[in-house]
Amino acid sequence: MKANCYMGRNTVEVLDVPEPRILNAHDAVVRVTSTAICGSDLHLVDGYVPAVKKGDVLGHEFMGEVVEVGPEVANLRPGDRVVVPFPIACGRCFACAEGLYSICENSNPNAGLAEKLMGHAPAGVFGYSHLLGGFAGGQAEYARVPFADVGPIKIEDDLPDEKVLFLSDILPTGYMAAEMCDIQPGQTIAVWGAGPVGQFAVAAAYMLGAGKVICIDRFPYRLQYARRAGAYTLNYEDVDVLDALRDMTGGRGPDACIDAVGMEAHHPTPAMYGYDRVKQAVRMETDRPYALREAILACRNGGVVAVVGTYGGLLDKFPMGSLMNRSLTLRTGQCHVQRYLRPLLDRIRAGEIDPSFVISHRLPLSAAPHAFELFKNKRDDCNKVVLTP
């Protein structure tokens, strides 16, 4: 079968690879009908995630048709249409019982490797390095889905792929970011990053009662998407973000701040950008935390900073003094997608949100290298790419 494979820094190639098979009684094999490229894939391809190997099949946002199930998968049958959540979770461990699926204790066969870096291991994730289990991803014609009796949600009506595909990751992730803000009616929320995750965080913040959501980025076309979701927008190349947010909130600061940017943040000041890029290159820090630094400094006293942008390791110049002295709460996590599938599918069905608004490009899987280039370099107003095998 064809699959999009990591072939080295900044290089992906669609190659012929062996078809997946059922390896465990809880597995299913899914014929992928739609798959997407995520900002998280860029961190891999840009070389910021350790333990990705040449030939690894990428992709963690996918859906399709079940073609085969293991003997323990009683809830699915061949022919069922499913969306597959990106974290792999057993549904039975301590973490899963708490609804914390992205830190499942049973799904990462390389937990020992992750423990060395992080203290404890997170869950396995499709197509996301050997640190997170070394599972083949979903940018492929077929994918093996472990714990298929727990994760995938069946789509039983005729909702098109485009409306439900993003249940696999970015819609729940944006929603979880807003949920972590404990929004009280009418509050002001600021979102760094007007990528697809930031756009869904904007939409979700309004769903959860925000009065005003302000989104920050530098690409006008992406800020336009955020405005379509209802946001006020700031271009950080035109304004001083901290000053502007103070002005928009009567001097107090947003009630909660969301980081939907992560480790590859950009900074408009060449000196600052250069400083962190050099430290990153020599591994004195692994991540460039501009958006996070700014989100902390901007947040009002006693507010919440919710981080869904992905970080890999160590930060420099982290404003701990600001966080501590001003009684801020820092909340974060890879999304516990499984717990949001049903409620968000209900919202899609009810017409409260049509997640397909983020799609800018629809391409065949064979065009994955071109699609990565467009998405990474923000060319052709690329916002979100859906690939069809």
Residues that bind ligand NAD (CB under 6 A): 38-40, 42-43, 169-170, 173, 192-198, 216-219, 222, 236, 260-262, 265-267, 290-291, 308-310, 334-335
Nearer to ligand NAD, 253 or 262 (CB): 262
Percent of the chain that is helix, strand, coil (3-state, to 5): 35, 20, 45
Least distance CB 113 / ligand NAD (angstroms): 20
State which residue, 126 or 236, has the beta carbon closest to ligand NAD: 236
What is the nearest approach in angstroms of ligand NAD to the Cβ of residue 1? 25
Q: How far is the CB of 258 from ligand NAD (least distance, A)?
A: 10
Q: Which position's Cβ is nearest Zn ion?
A: 38
181 lies in the binding site for Zn ion (CB under 5 A): no
381: its two tokens: 């107003």
Which entry of ligand NAD, Zn ion, none binds 249, CB below 5 to 8 A by partner kind?
none
CB-nearer residue toward ligand NAD: 130 or 267: 267
Query: Which residues 6+ apart lie within 8 Å of 69 measured at CB?
Result: 22, 27, 28, 29, 76, 77, 78, 148
Check binding of 38 to Zn ion (CB under 5 A).
yes
Handedness of CA 290, 293, 299, 304 (dihedral sign): positive
In the complex, the smallest distance separating the C-beta of residue 310 from ligand NAD, rounded to whole angstroms, is 3
Cβ of residue 88: shortest distance to Zn ion, in angstroms?
Answer: 9
Among 49, 139, 85, 67, which residue's Cα sits nearest to residue 386?
139
| Kind and range of the H or E run holding 227 | helix 220-228
The least CB distance from residue 382 to ligand NAD, in Å, is: 9
Per rule CB under 5 A, is residue 249 in the interface with Zn ion? no
288 interface partner picked from Zn ion, ligand NAD, none, CB below 5 to 8 A per type: none
d(CA 85, CA 140): 16
Query: Which tokens hold the place of 65?
Result: 């048709």
Say if CB 31 and CB 142 are below 8 A apart. Answer: yes
* HSE value, Cβ hemisphere, 13 Å, CA-based, for 182: 10
**Strand pairing of 28-36 and 304-307?**
unpaired
Which listed residue (84, 90, 164, 299) binds Zn ion by CB under 5 A? Answer: 90
Of the pair 241, 348, the CB lying nearest Zn ion is at: 348
34 phi and psi angles, rounded to 5 deg: -150, 140
Structure-block tokens of residue 200: 């869904």
Q: Which is nearer to Zn ion, 146 or 303 (CB)?
A: 146
First vs last C-alpha separation in the chain: 10
What does 197 interact with, of Zn ion, ligand NAD, none (CB < 5 to 8 A by kind)? Answer: ligand NAD
90 binds, among Zn ion, ligand NAD, none (CB under 5 to 8 A by kind): Zn ion
Residue 124 binds which entry of ligand NAD, Zn ion, none, with Cβ cut-offs from 5 to 8 Å by kind? none
In three-state secondary structure terms, 315 is coil
Interface with Zn ion, residue 40, by CB under 5 A: yes
The count of C-alpha atoms lying within 13 angstroms of the C-alpha of 136, restricted to the half-sphere facing its C-beta, is 23
For residue 77, how many other CB atoms are within 10 A of its CB?
11
Q: Which residues bind Zn ion (CB under 5 A)?
A: 38, 40, 89-90, 93, 96, 104, 106, 169
